Chain A
Amino acid sequence: MAVELPLLANAGNHSFTLLTKGSPALVPARRPNSGEQYRFHFDMTKCIGCRCCVVACNEQNGNPAHLNWRRVGELEGGIYPAAQRWHLSMGCNHCLEPSCLIGCPVEAYTKDSATGIVDHDPDQCIGCQYCTWNCSYGVPQFNAERGVVGKCDMCHKRLNAGGEPACVNACPEGAITIEIVDQAEWRQDYSAANSPGMPPARDSLSTTRITLPANLNADRVDDWRATRGQPHWSLVGFLVATQFAAGAFFTIWLLEFSGAALPAWSALVPLLAAKLALAAAPLHLGRPAFAWRAIQGWKTSWVSREILAMSLFAGLAALYALAMYFGRPERVWAGAATVVVGFAAVAVSARIYMVPARPSWNRPATLAAFFLTALVTGLRAMPGLAVPAGFASVAALALRWRETQSMAASESPELRASASIAAGGRWHFYLGLAALFALPLDSLASLVLALASEVMGRYVFFVSAVPRSMASTFLKPGGEVPA
């Protein structure tokens, strides 16, 4: 294949050589060949922690101060005076398996075949922010002012013109450079992408090469940091409502199948819950008007699949409800299909959250908890199933208790931090107990308590998610971050 040499091609162009500063030591003099890509090289031994790269990146991209597509982190170790302090600097790692791209429901991400650069198109983005959950490095960042995500694109238009990315250009120590890497070789051994203070490169096969000091004995200084996450109330509502609906249809179908005579309108309540949840779901998007795009990525994105599954569930549920209302015999089969698809949709929902970047979500307990929500609330939807509902409640309470214990004892600092945040909010636990004790007394009260408990449980699920990310500096970043 023809290799383009921008420096050579532009050699006769005076303004080009005058204005571009692409130093061969800092950026490659050729384009990647087939099977190769560009990547960052960060030399920790050269970095002095001046954070020029951060400022230069924000200037380059016109970003407000609270969005930093390039960040600097701090490592410390040893005992005075043999203490060590080092710094990390990171933009996007332009991964071989970019979790942002894979998870994106609207195909806003592309991995350029010629350069390997993972690029994001703000025009295509709908602001679902699923990529911000998926990336173990916290690279994609949601710009609330715009309603879309943005990220480092290695300044590829500068690079393609033979220039240096802004961070590379700004670094007074030459600690950040661009290299060409053979993708197949790197896939075999990407260990040079790992570093103290960095999430494991295996999460997405980061291509950034990090040169570590020979005697490195230091680790992150922000382990303590357990900042509450966003509560995502609209998602809390969506999850509890759809899970309640799936559980309730299961209950209705089970009772009908076992011969109980149910009022003809029984299915209308869970149907309404499912429909409302689906209608309200776009509200959490940065660009709700473009929600329709969200099924485009069904081949790879669990978000697209969830929308498809939930839509199918809602459609079948409507058929079932209609069949029931009119007393049609086909309702047994419609009900069975509704229940199967409903539970499948709940499983797909859970899968969305089970990503390496969010250790407290990336556990079997997430799947179990979502199903238990369906059962705890759904079994209370109709009278007569107090005993299984009670068992479901006990299971849900036990699961929560065990999860908190297990995360608190974990080796993972993110999980410990999650556990400590979760331990701060016990309302869902007490409400769940109350729902259990209310079961024999007042079934409606028990249902309301159970729903409240699950809502609080899902709230804790969101706020206690401590993501993996690159080590930050000791000081928590300041400044006002617009909601």
Chain B
Amino acid sequence: MKSLARILGFDTLGDSYAYRDDPVLGYTSARRSAERWVKSTCGYCSVGCGLELGVRGREIVAVKGWDKHPVSLGKLCPKGLSEHQMISAPNRAKYPLLRGRGGKLAHVGWDEAIGTLVDRFTAVQKQNGPGALGVISTGQLLTEEFYALGKLIQLGFGTRNYCGNTTLCMASAVSGYKRSFGSDGPPGAYEDFRVADVTLLIGANIADNHPILCQHVEANKAGFLIVADPRVTKTAMMASLHLPLKPRSDIALLNGMAHVLFREGLVREDFAAAHANGLEELRSFILARYPVERAAALTGLSAETIADVARRYGRARAGMIAWTMGVNHSTQGAETVSAIANLSLLTGHIGRPGASPFSITGQCNAMGTREAGFTSSLPGYRKFEKKEDREELAALWGIEPARIPDARGLAYPDIINAAADGEVRAMWIIATNPAVSYPNQEQLRRAFRSLDFLVVQDGFHPTPTSEYAHLVLPAAIWGEKEGTFTNSERRAGKVNSAVPPPGEARSDFDIFLAVADRLGRRDELFPGWFKPVDAFNEWRRVSRGRLCDYSGMTYETIEAEGGLQWPYSDGFHGSPASRLYSTARFQFEDGRARLFTVDCEPFPDQPDDVFPMILNTGRTVEHWHTRTKTAQVAILERMAPNAWLEMNSSDARALTLSSHDRVDIVSRRGRVRDVELRVTEITAPGQVFMPFHFFETNGNEVTQDAFDPISREPNFKQCAVRVERSARKQGNTLHGTD
């Protein structure tokens, strides 16, 4: 209730709207005045922006960009600028909750929570075998936590069925790098955006998804930017040339470019022959199968355009190809990455400033789990199948080599399918929200319903996923814990704790240590570990001499430099190498890269008369992933409060639909209801697009659970749908829409 003084206007809340000349921020709202500032690395995407958190008491009251930070140059995106608001969200998970007999989640102590977790997991494993426990983690934890969790799961619980949501994200890049270069690891650096003559962004909408990278691209005044995307994205508008190719025709584009390179003598034969295997096979494959005219037919681009792009890239002093989910989210994702690597290798555009194939990662620390996480490879990019790698690791850890698995376990989708089939009986989901992000939600629900025991560990509760949990573990989040994140360009950034977590929440690191303790394995797995730095120091030893070498880094030097790029070996001084493969020596035994013949296949869920349109999904700048965090930030919700479906005006006319009509999107698997339609020219006829952030209107009700056979990444980007006017009609006309 308003006081009388406010109703009459004597009180205008002058105090809470006061300004102050702040010693750090300058003249600004007094609400932002901090007592101390804590440097950190942003916890949303993988760009890895540097920022500072302003703390007053136990509250983060402001965020500011870290001036002169090598990545972000003092800038932050709208999510970063409001990141502090997310920490004090009302739906933070504060207490361990256990589902009791009545089916209700009830507050329990940590002892009981950890005890129940260990008892139930080990009981399930005892009865059904160690693999009956599936663990799905994330790209959101700290490297120290990933390193600890990997050991805990693989060695402590002894299950190989451990994967992360990075499989919904970067797995294709990982697999592609391994296939082509012999190891994971993005070869390029952000500086390449600034200095490349020609940059081809393929399936990457950085203006929405990695906005702070745009300043590096824009700084490249002499460069020629090509954006290949079926949609006229904000990024396409930045381009010198936009290639509006057909969905999933990127391999045809890349092969068509290769054809022009071969045909016109633009292949650097000396480089390719000296440093890669498979040149002649590739040459004959491309010349026979992918004449540029065929590529033109497959992509919908003109042969002249493809030839122009190929010539520009082939003749460039330094050419860069960078990609994101448009490439990865595909049943041919890993192969597409190989096709990109082919072009780099054919032209020698690798390992030099401006010359690189470069995956722009999704999550803030997807790189950390790739390097240290023990999911799709052994820590330090070691290979499960390689005996020497297992032995080396066992020696470092002082354990029997036989305890290290010689093959990776089930990948994320295979864990879900195994759960639906009753083979995986218990699951631990950490800092991810599959009830929004997993393709074909019906299959996920089948899996959840089949489980005997589901633990969800998250900073927030309830989330659509934690609603299914038998046990909810409240975790500290970014801003409340210390460690490192590694960004897309292999730069480890320091992450610091500014405030304590709410309620009884604990850092994931502490939770993992407590679980190990209860398992009776703490001393073996985490000897002498108390703080994240203990894990980091062990990780430095374990990564020493590997491609992803952290051995020369310390928390202090990382923070002082605004992040350090690996490889950064012990005793390394001076400016760090910012690119891989500058000597063109690749990570295979013979030091040579591999060229692959990659066929362009149609995507699996082709449109027909019943489902005539192709649905593409993606992101919008205001939101992060499944909106667990950004839905809590009022300004971001204000700017993008709901999902929408973009449809070309010609299709809308045929369906007699108009902007702001409510539509359902129907596929062979499900239906998304009541989505706001946007009639537009930014999507092609026959294609529709919607953002994937919104649980309320979840595009993954209709997406297909088809996976890349190599990377196991889902084919999120194309599926066949039809669009119908929603039964519930509202708000589409000029009349009274308030």
Contact = CB atoms under 8 A, between A and B. Distances in A.
B215 A62 contact: no
Of B27, B76, B636, B648, most A-chain CB atoms within 10 Å: B27
Contact of A65 (B218, B637, B644, B676): B637
B32 A59 contact: yes
A122 B8 contact: no
Contacts of A86: 237
Interface in A215-271: 221, 224-228
A122 B12 contact: yes
A165 B10 CA distance: 30
- Which of A76, A77, A85, A420 has most B Cβ within 10 Å? A85
A446 B392 CA distance: 99
Interface string A202-225: 000000000000000000010011
B53 to A, nearest CB: 13
Contact of B19 (A78, A157, A417): A157
A478 B676 CA distance: 13
Max chain A Cβ within 10 angstroms of own Cβ: one of B21, B207, B237? B237
Interface residues of A, number: 76
B735 interface: yes
Contacts of A54: 78, 635, 639
Interface string B1-31: 0000011111011101101010110111111
Nearest to A60: B28
Contact of B76 (A66, A170, A423): A170
A409 interface: no
Interface residues of B, number: 72
Contacts of B23: 15, 19
B500 interface: no
Contacts of B28: 59-60, 158, 166
B685 A48 contact: no
A329 B82 CA distance: 73
Contacts, number: 201
5 contacts: A59-B82, A80-B685, A81-B242, A224-B734, A228-B737
B77 to A, nearest CB: 6
Interface string B540-551: 000000000000
A85 B26 CA distance: 35
Nearest to A420: B734
A173 interface: yes
A147 B7 CA distance: 8
A424 B736 contact: yes
A80 B211 contact: no
B81 interface: yes
B26 A51 contact: no
Interface stretch (A283-291, A337-345, A356-364): A283-291
Contact of B238 (A48, A59, A227, A473): A48
Nearest to A229: B738
Q: With a 10 A CB-CB cut-off, give which of B78, B215, B621, B660 has the most chain A CB atoms.
A: B78
A155 B30 contact: no
A55 B82 contact: yes
B29 A19 contact: no
Given A81-B232, A289-B9, 13 more contacts: A48-B207, A48-B235, A68-B638, A81-B242, A83-B681, A84-B232, A163-B27, A166-B28, A170-B75, A173-B214, A226-B734, A416-B734, A478-B637
A474 interface: yes
Interface in A409-443: 416-417, 420-421, 423-424
A276 B17 CA distance: 35
Interface in A460-483: 473-479
Contacts of B75: 52, 170-172
A406 B21 CA distance: 53
B682 A85 contact: yes
Interface in A76-126: 76-81, 83-86, 122-123, 126
Interface of B: 6-10, 12-14, 16-17, 19, 21, 23-24, 26-32, 62, 67, 74-78, 81-82, 207, 211-212, 214-215, 218, 232, 234-235, 237-238, 242, 244, 621-622, 634-642, 644, 648, 659-660, 676, 678, 680-685, 733-738
Contacts of A225: 737
A43 to B, nearest CB: 11
A161 interface: yes
A20 interface: yes
Contacts of A81: 232, 242, 244, 684
Contacts of A158: 26-28
Interface of A: 15, 19-21, 46, 48-52, 54-56, 58-62, 64-66, 68, 76-81, 83-86, 122-123, 126-127, 145-148, 150, 155, 157-158, 161, 163, 166, 170-173, 221, 224-228, 285-290, 416-417, 420-421, 423-424, 473-479
Contact of B32 (A62, A83, A172): A62
B244 A147 contact: no
B730 to A, nearest CB: 13
Contacts of B244: 80-81
Contacts of B734: 224, 226, 416-417, 420-421
Contact of B681 (A60, A78, A421, A478): A78
B10 A474 contact: no
Given A52-B81, A123-B12, A65 B621 contact: no
Nearest to B74: A21
A100 B682 CA distance: 37
Contacts of B14: 122-123
Contacts of B681: 76-80, 83
B78 to A, nearest CB: 4
A211 B232 CA distance: 22
Nearest to A22: B26
A219 B531 CA distance: 56
A21 B65 CA distance: 12
Given A59-B82, A147-B9, A172-B212, A85 B685 contact: no
A172 B640 contact: no
Contacts of B639: 51, 54, 473, 475, 477-478
A66 B636 CA distance: 11
Nearest to B685: A80
A79 B214 CA distance: 26
Contacts of B82: 55, 59
B12 A19 contact: no
B318 to A, nearest CB: 23
Nearest to A230: B738
B686 to A, nearest CB: 10
Given A80-B682, A147-B6, A288-B9, A226 B77 contact: no
A50 B235 CA distance: 11
A221 B658 CA distance: 12
A287 B635 contact: no
A285 B232 CA distance: 47
Best-surrounded residue of A55, A68, A83, A86 (most CB of chain B within 10 A): A55
Contacts of A60: 28-29
Nearest to B643: A475
Contact of B638 (A52, A163, A423, A477): A477
Given A172-B77, A226-B737, A157 B27 contact: yes
A263 to B, nearest CB: 40
A286 B26 contact: no
Contacts of B67: 21
A15 B22 CA distance: 12
The 3 closest A-B pairs by CB, nearest first: A478-B641, A287-B9, A62-B29
Contacts of A19: 23-24, 26
A62 B30 contact: yes
Nearest to B12: A146
A162 to B, nearest CB: 9
